[in-house]
Structure 1
C-alpha cells in the first residue's frame, strides 16, 4: 500500500485520525463558520454567506451523486468534530488547463496539526488507486504558502509553466496562481 492509502468504502475514506465522508445536515453550520472566517478565506476571496456556504454543500453532494467522488466532509475520528473538507473535482471551465484537482479547506482550530496533509494523502490514494487517474493537479494563489507546503509534502511538484492569472479573481493578490502536479506512481517515492 502506498503512503496515505486509506481504508475506503463507497463514499468514505478513513485515515489514522480522520474520516472523510459524505456531507450531512449537521455539517452545514460548522462549514458555514469555516467559510465565514476571513482568515480561512484569505486566499479564496470574500467570506461566504450562510446561503452561499449551504449552496456549496449542495454542489458537493451533486458531484458525488454524478461522479461518485468529490469533496468530502472531514471529521476527527476520535471526537467526531467537523474540521473541514478535502476532495477531488474537475478543473473549472475557463482555466488554461484541464484535469482533476485536489483541494482542502480546514477550520482554523485544525490548522497546524497535519490534517490537511493526512486528508490530501488519502484523497490522492483514492484518486490514483480507485479512480485510476493518471495525474492530479492543485492550484493556490502565489501568496498561499501554507497550501503550497501541503502540496510539496504530498509529493506534488510545481509546474512554473502552468502558473496563471485566475480570470475569475479580481485584480489583486488572488489573481496570480501557481500550478502543482503529481502523476500516478509519483507518491510511491516515500
Structure 2
C-alpha cells in the first residue's frame, strides 16, 4: 500500500514524510494560533517532531497516515492530509480522514482536493466499509470539507474528546461518515 505514494492531484502531492526536510515548515503550521484555534494548543518544535514521527510509524505499520501535502507548483509543504486508524471515541480502530493546512492556504480548495484524493485512495486500497472524520463541534471549515466529500453527520456519534479538557469549547466533537457504497471515485486522483 505504501508504495502507491506519492498521490498526485491537479495541484497537490501527498507524499511520505521526510522529517529533516519537513520539520521547520510543519512546525510553522502547527504553531500558528489560527490553525490551532479549533485543534488545541499550538505545538512546540519537539511536539511537531513527535507528530511527524507518529505519522512515519503509522505509515510503516498500516501503509497510510496523514501524509505530507505539498503544493505542486512550488513544492511548498502546506500541511498534512490522509487517513489513520482512529485512536479515540467512535472512530477508534476505524479509517479516519484528517487534514491540517497552513492558514494562508485556506479558502483555495486545497483541503477538499487533498481529502478527496485520500478518500479515493482509501476506497481503492483499504477494505474498510466506511470512512470517518471527526472535529470539534464549532470547526465549521472542516465540517464543510466533510460535507463536500459526501460525508454525513452522525449525531448519535457525538462525543467528548478524552484528550481535551472537559471545560474546553474544543471538547465536544462531531463525527462524519461515508459508506463505501455511497462513494464514487473521481478519475484523476488515483495514486501516481
Determine if the TM-score, normalized by the shorter chain, exceeds 0.5.
yes
Higher RCO (C-alpha 8 Å, min separation 6): 2
CA distance in 1: counterparts of 2:127 and 2:120, whole angstroms = 10
Unaligned runs of 5+ in 2: 187-192
C-alpha deviation, 1:189, in angstroms: 9.0
Deviations 1:17-40 (A, max 9, x none): 000000112111010000100110
Is residue 2:180 matched to residue 1:174? Answer: no
CA distance in 1: counterparts of 2:9 and 2:90, whole angstroms = 33
C-alpha deviation, 1:97, in angstroms: 4.3
Q: Pick closer, same or farther for the CA change 1:183–1:66 going to 2, 3 Å.
A: same
Query: Quick one: which of 118, 122, 130 aligns to 1:135?
Result: 130
C-alpha deviation, 1:55, in angstroms: 0.8
Q: Which has the higher helix share?
A: 2
Structure 1 outlier segments of 4+, above 3 Å: none
Q: Pick closer, same or farther for the CA change 1:189–1:97 going to 2, 3 Å.
A: closer
Query: Quick one: which of 6, 12, 22 aligns to 2:16?
Result: 22
Structure 1 stretch displaced more, 143-152 or 168-177:
168-177
TM-score when normalising by structure 1: 0.91
Taking the TM superposition and a 5 Å limit, the aligned residue runs for 1:44-123 are 44-93=39-88, 95-98=89-92, 99-123=94-118
| Aligned residues of 1:11 and 1:69 also touching (Cα < 8 A) | no
Does the residue aligned with 1:32 lie in a helix, a strand or coil? helix
Residue 5 of structure 1 is matched in structure 2 by: none
Alpha-carbon RMSD across the aligned residues, in angstroms, is 1.6
TM-score when normalising by structure 2: 0.90
